[in-house]
Amino acid sequence: QPARVRRSVEPLYPMSAQRKGIEGYVTLRLTIDEAGKVQDVLVVDSEPIGVFERSAREAARRFEFEPARVGGTVVSTTLEKKIVFRLQ
């Protein structure tokens, strides 16, 4: 059974991107430990490059997960999560 998000955190929209009307996304690879905590965050893809990565990483570090299970035993795992930045 894969890890499931228990609590997600909305990333802060960078002010410079907001002022310029820039939208985009960041795909992250998260390492989730047996307690459901995020241990490592790696940027896999982003568009545009260099705009949203920091905000996405900071938010993802505060996510909480229902840990993954293999045969009823909790295990650490990695998963990919895409965070989309859209102006309201």
Please name the residue that has the structure tokens 């965070």. Answer: 83
Q: pLDDT band for position 88 (50/70/90)?
A: confident
pTM given for the model: 0.93
What's the CA gap between 88 and 86, in Å, rounded? 6
pLDDT of residue 82: 97
What's the CA gap between 85 and 88, in Å, rounded? 10
Question: What are the pLDDT digits (tens) for 14-70?
Answer: 999 999 999 999 999 999 999 999 999 999 999 999 999 999 999 999 999 999 999
Edge-to-edge strands of the sheet including 38-47? 38-47, 24-32, 77-85
